Structure 1
Amino acid sequence: MPTALQLRLGRQLTVLREEVGLTWEQAAAHLGVHPGTVRRLELGQAGKPKAMAVRTLLELYRVPGEEVAGFMEQVKQANTAEWWNEFRDVLPEGFGSFVSLEGAASLIRAYEPHSIPALLQTEDYARALFRTDHPAASDKELDRRVELVLERQRQALTGRAAPPTLWVVMDERALRWSYGGAAVMGPQIERLIADVERPNVQLQIQRHAAGAYSAKQGPFTLFRFVTAPELPDYVYVDNLTGGEYLQQRTSPYLESLDRMSAAAVPLKHTQEFLRDIHQRKWAQPEVSKMHEVSESGNTNGEVA
């Protein structure tokens, strides 16, 4: 899966080619390459785009000279090493594309049934979550994974001049499952209470009492690019073996998010709901491991 910059450049080249009525084969003949090379370039699958090839195509597509410079700047950016390359040691395979989409999207909508979304996690919560998911990891590896989460937050939310709207529907269980006990969960809930004050953060809770959920699958994320209309919506579906990126079958996921949002706690009541969870569950002395096991059958179960 390519980066957001490669996808955008490829889509723009597709539009330009179609506007002048040329086929992949004709464009490829002009470049002296196989048609598959042009196709991969347009799909963002050619790796780092070659500046000379792009410039030649722009001339073929009769792009005005004053616009060529803008395209070539995009080529330069697409060829620049992304910030997450320094986290290759802990970045899951194929997840660099997710981080790229996350940092470029204008709207991020997500369903999260199991844990607090990474973009809203405290440092201590992220560490406790990773320690649970990777029990054999060294302290150094855990530190690196936490650093990646914090940098994702900066790149996608706090460090952008125009941050995206983040709209998440969470399962109530994610607020009740104990990662690190009250000493971790209390500040994490407090962080969420503060985050929903931000105009670009919309958090809704799917209550147990709401009954059957419209999303029976695991977590997924939808990315929309208002400032890059060339790009379609993308959906990332998380699973145990990694994840899947969808471009053409995103409508069911958007509809599912809409149904869950309609059934969830209204946005105006989210803070009240979070404060109630915090007061009744996490503003108390840390519950014992024995109690957690007795209530859930595992060490990270729901605290009653």
Structure 2
Amino acid sequence: MAGSSLPRRALGRRLRGYRVEAEKSQLAAGLHIEMSPQSIGRMEDGQKVKICTSQIRDLLDLYRVPNPSDERNEIFMLWQEVRDQALAAKLAGTAKGWWQAYTDQYEPHFDHYLGLEAVATHLTTHQVLLLPGLLQTGDYRRALSLVGDPTVSPAALERRLELAAHRRVRLADPSFRADVLLSEAVLRQTPGGRSVMVEQLRHLLEMIEASTNLSIRVVPSDAGSHLGLLTQSFTLLEFPPLASHLAEPPIVYVEGYDGSLYLERTDMIDRHRRAILDIQRVALTEHNTVQCIQQIVKEYGE
């Protein structure tokens, strides 16, 4: 999932839709164009596979997509966009995403998320226990890494901190916006001890003051009933239009200890949008959030 992940994902999603509508299995599709069903599945998931224009045309024939038709034109526009971006990435020496240099330092399921985060234009996250990676200081990240793997080597730990620092660069992009909703409990967890958390909270205050594309709001522990109590932690990622002017649907990412969920169905996206509105309803204003963080810093400093 490098820079071309969005058109690949859009192409794969549309081809899967046509296959399901035609009532064809991945095995049947693979046999038709001499590919494995696993490769068909990876392609439909937006992953890079070896496939040529004639094979895509054969798939559309198998799926009984009319020729000529607007549907075919859309598929081939996406395919051309995939090829153009792949060529541009190759010429620029960026065929792989920067994060893939650190694949030995994160779980395999997180690779896809990093690719999506790198191309998203708007991120809205609700967190109930820990700060999102984009806001973590080095010492906060170090403490969490040592909890997860107390035997991690110093060299590996430094690479994890490099990865975290590289992710934070995303916030410097004026075309990117992050809206962060934090349970008050997040501010009262102290991985690494109170001194680490004081540094982390002061970092949040600095970011709030300096950033024009970042909003941080705290949900107080006495906020009462709201949908965030049911959704728990999640992140909604939204994307720019493709070069073909097709809209790329958002994704809700839910991270777990042993894996992650990527929710794309329209009804699921709508439910999480409603949850965001309800959480924002009970969250402190940005001004009051600053006062809340300052008060906790004062408490920890005593």
TM-score between the two structures when normalised by the length of structure 1: 0.74
Partner of 2:44: 43
Question: Which residue of the other structure, out of 259, 264, 268, is the alignment partner of 2:287?
Answer: 268
Question: Which residue of the other structure, out of 116, 119, 126, is the alignment partner of 2:141?
Answer: 126
User: Secondary structure at 1:169's aligned position in 2?
Assistant: strand
User: Secondary structure at 1:208's aligned position in 2?
Assistant: coil
CA contact (8 A) 1:114 1:173 kept: yes
What's the CA shift for 1:169? 0.8
Give matches, 1:67-216, under 5 Å: 70-76=81-87, 77=89, 80-154=95-169, 156-158=170-172, 160=173, 162-197=174-209, 198-215=211-228, 216=230
User: Secondary structure at 2:105's aligned position in 1?
Assistant: coil
Query: Quick one: distance in 1 between partners of 2:109 and 2:39?
Result: 23
Partner of 2:261: 244
Report the residue type matching 1:87 in the other structure.
Y
**How many positions carry a matched residue from both structures?**
272
Partner of 1:226: 240
Query: Quick one: distance in 2 between partners of 1:244 and 1:15?
Result: 20
Report the residue type matching 1:108 in the other structure.
L
The farther-off stretch of 103-112 and 142-151 is 142-151
How high is the sequence identity, in percent, across the aligned residues?
23
Query: Quick one: distance in 2 between partners of 1:252 and 1:142?
Result: 38
CA contact (8 A) 1:171 1:207 kept: yes
Higher relative helix content:
2
Give matches, 1:1-16, under 5 Å: 5-12=4-11
CA contact (8 A) 1:238 1:244 kept: yes
Report the residue type matching 2:253 in the other structure.
Y
Query: Quick one: distance in 1 between partners of 2:143 and 2:239?
Result: 33
Deviations 1:74-105 (A, max 9, x none): 23349922212211111112111100111111
Deviations 1:271-303 (A, max 9, x none): 222222212x2333xxxxxxxxxxxxxxxxxxx
Query: Quick one: distance in 1 between partners of 2:117 and 2:283?
Result: 24
Query: Quick one: distance in 1 between partners of 2:151 and 2:15?
Result: 51
What's the CA shift for 1:268? 3.3
Partner of 1:283: 301
CA contact (8 A) 1:113 1:219 kept: yes
Partner of 1:300: none
What's the CA shift for 1:227? 3.7
TM-score between the two structures when normalised by the length of structure 2: 0.75
Partner of 1:235: 252
The farther-off stretch of 70-79 and 254-263 is 70-79
Unaligned stretches of 5+ residues in structure 1: 285-304
Aligned alpha-carbon RMSD (Å)? 3.7
Unaligned stretches of 5+ residues in structure 2: 61-66
